[in-house]
Chain A
């Protein structure tokens, strides 16, 4: 019988920190035993803890660490379909399959994410505008539901469970294994294009329209903008656009000619364990941003995949930069018709608040997520890191109101503070999601800190009155 160990867990934002009971199974059948352990109020699966908020926390209850359930089970070199356990990380996948000419079809901004986590958050990458989210490449998976059944789920088999699991933040059960279609690549390099934009309008223009001597950035498979969210006035939305394509074998740097799939990963630096609160402030971030903006000259270059996709992975524990108080990442998507207005208002709020942020990322999104409560929708997504400081939750609530007003939504994988009311107004299919949860897990064995915050804990929900109108169902905290 797998043992539970009391652990104070946090995810990547280092806040909140909840006391949890962690199990770390090494065999598939351990998962069923963990679920059946009546001394544990509920459980939630956790991969590498790279979500930012409380999605992978379960206060005073079980957290199942999938890190050792990471076996590759089958691979078809003809089709590139890989079957593996949910604890396999992008890092692991890349180290095994990139040398053979395969790459994850969609990757988040760090390779230290498990595939199970990627499915649960339905992560997107720099190619969302072309390829959609991660789950579009997932053909099927096996799910251990709260009632202890093992379901094979695909678009045709158990589709309710399939679509609820996509972006379902782990609440449909524990994903045991999944089948993923990989992408064939010729090299471990990216042919990247950089272009600075002086303000938001220029950025949006460069994304979507061809300009003198340059195709629209959105015509490239990968495309994202790093944004200086301290720049104000006429420079509001000043950013560096980065586009890229997998480089052909013929264009890799000279010393990799003939062996284009080799990739010496950059060495990793570890940040000191304690950096004081407030080390990142408006001043230091402004300086960084100014340097970064100037350092990234316009032009094309061929760079290793890791510096294109995972620039921050070069610093392990970079989250320590924000000090012991931690930080929240705030990511939202707004539909195209309202996007410019929404982005301007959000950026104005952010610059005015002087809540410094290194990482502000802007990108266009394509197809909506297939998930019932999936995040992606066509439009523009903006992500910013905000040091945890007094008043942050209130500030974010103000931003939530702006997002809601423009028909957008906030990304649950990064969230630790969205209110239940806002959630239900942003994710209009929440009632359908809850019905599926109730069917899969009548006793409410699967739950998380996030589920309780957002009213998705249906063991709790079953005691609360059902809400016929989603708009009236708010539970102001």
Chain B
């Protein structure tokens, strides 16, 4: 069975790892790589075609051009030869820690861009994608079923959404809003067998974090995140921390009493 999957923000390190894993697991996978920099997306698509023999195409995507989302989703389906089985959102900005936080505090336009890109665009895209998956599910024999057989919607969020911290709370709040949205959407689509998957990566060794993190055991390789995401899709998981130990770390951070939290540098 060939699955048709569209990835948005496809040039990010995490998106690349996800696409690579999807294609490696099943060369019959058809991927639409949507990105602002379509030349880069095309290079990644070529790489997937050559490495794995997968079908991969590149399309231009501008997250904050909200009106373009519907036609883009349809264009993805058309290029892949049928209705989409899944959508993965990897686009995002402002994840560069204290540097980006300070910039967003100074510059309202940047703050709004973070929110529009990470949250508003995701809501618009997922609403439209959900509509299309539902339509496809209703058209199918039997529809629904467990394990997201009606398709899936997956969004790469962040552990930063779990508690607002001084170092990144503008970015974090955009992800917190996204998490709440995904929670609601999941509940709505559960009956239809459409899985809604929230991915919460911790520190990942990407272009966005290069030079900000010292490395060490807390910093994950994007490949690791890719493996976890593809497993989550296969299982139709709800909320996945990657690497897994971040569930514990964030539980602790959420449990820190406020007076202590105020004195910590997080």
The 6 lowest CB-CB distance pairs between A and B, nearest first, are: A5-B211, A3-B211, A71-B47, A72-B50, A26-B207, A71-B43
Task: Give the interface residue-count category, chain B.
Answer: 10 to 19
B40 within 8 A of A: yes
Interface residues of chain A, those whose CB is within 8 Å of chain B, are 2-5, 23-30, 68, 71-75, 85, 96
Using A26-B11, A27-B207, A29-B40 as known contacts, list a sample of 6 further A-B pairs with CB atoms less than 8 Å apart, ordered by residue number in A: A28-B39, A30-B207, A71-B47, A73-B43, A73-B46, A73-B47
Q: Tell me if B207 and A24 are in contact (CB < 8 A).
A: yes
Q: Tell me if A72 and B11 are in contact (CB < 8 A).
A: no
Quick one: which of B98-127 are within 8 Å of A by CB?
none
Q: Tell me if A3 and B11 are in contact (CB < 8 A).
A: no
8 Å CB contact of A27 from B37, B50, B211: B37
Residue of B11, B13, B51 ringed by the most chain A CB atoms within 10 A: B51
Q: Which residues of B contact A68 (CB under 8 A)?
A: 13, 207
Q: Tell me if B210 and A75 are in contact (CB < 8 A).
A: no
- B35-53: CB near A (< 8 Å → 1, else 0) gives 0010110011011001100
Look across to chain B and name the residue whose beta carbon is closest to the beta carbon of A177. Answer: B43
Please list 16 pairs of residues, one from A and one from B, whose beta carbons are closer than 8 Å in the complex, sorted by A's number. A3-B210, A3-B212, A5-B211, A27-B207, A28-B40, A29-B37, A68-B207, A71-B43, A71-B47, A72-B47, A72-B51, A73-B46, A73-B50, A74-B50, A75-B50, A85-B43
Quick one: which of B10-67 are within 8 Å of A by CB?
11, 13, 16, 37, 39-40, 43-44, 46-47, 50-51
What separation, in Å, do the CA atoms of A300 and B235 have in the docked complex?
51
What separation, in Å, do the CA atoms of A395 and B212 have in the docked complex?
43
Residue of B37, B40, B44 ringed by the most chain A CB atoms within 10 A: B40
How far apart are B235's CB and chain A's nearest CB, in angstroms? 28
Q: Which residues of A contact B50 (CB under 8 A)?
A: 72-75, 96
Look across to chain A and name the residue whose beta carbon is closest to the beta carbon of B37. Answer: A27
Secondary structure at the B interface, as helix, strand, loop or mixed, is: helix
Look across to chain B and name the residue whose beta carbon is closest to the beta carbon of A74. Answer: B46
8 Å CB contact of B51 from A23, A25, A96: A96
What separation, in Å, do the CA atoms of A28 and B38 have in the docked complex?
12
Look across to chain A and name the residue whose beta carbon is closest to the beta carbon of B45. Answer: A71
Q: Tell me if A2 and B210 are in contact (CB < 8 A).
A: yes
What separation, in Å, do the CA atoms of A30 and B43 have in the docked complex?
14
How far apart are B147's CB and chain A's nearest CB, in angstroms? 31
Q: Tell me if A26 and B13 are in contact (CB < 8 A).
A: yes
Q: Which residues of B contact A72 (CB under 8 A)?
A: 46-47, 50-51
Q: Which residues of A contact B16 (CB under 8 A)?
A: 26
Q: Tell me if B44 and A24 are in contact (CB < 8 A).
A: no
What separation, in Å, do the CA atoms of A99 and B252 have in the docked complex?
48
Q: Which residues of A contact B207 (CB under 8 A)?
A: 2, 24-27, 30, 68
Look across to chain A and name the residue whose beta carbon is closest to the beta carbon of B43. Answer: A71
Look across to chain A and name the residue whose beta carbon is closest to the beta carbon of B11. Answer: A27
Look across to chain A and name the residue whose beta carbon is closest to the beta carbon of B213. Answer: A5
Q: Which residues of B contact A28 (CB under 8 A)?
A: 39-40, 43
Look across to chain B and name the residue whose beta carbon is closest to the beta carbon of A7. Answer: B211
Q: Which residues of B contact A2 (CB under 8 A)?
A: 207, 210
How far apart are B40's CB and chain A's nearest CB, in angstroms? 5
How far apart are A290's CB and chain B's nearest CB, in angstroms? 42
What separation, in Å, do the CA atoms of A157 and B46 have in the docked complex?
25
What separation, in Å, do the CA atoms of A388 and B43 have in the docked complex?
43
Known: A4-B211, A25-B207. A71 touches B11 (CB 8 A): no
Residue of B11, B37, B39, B46 ringed by the most chain A CB atoms within 10 A: B46
Look across to chain A and name the residue whose beta carbon is closest to the beta carbon of B214. Answer: A5
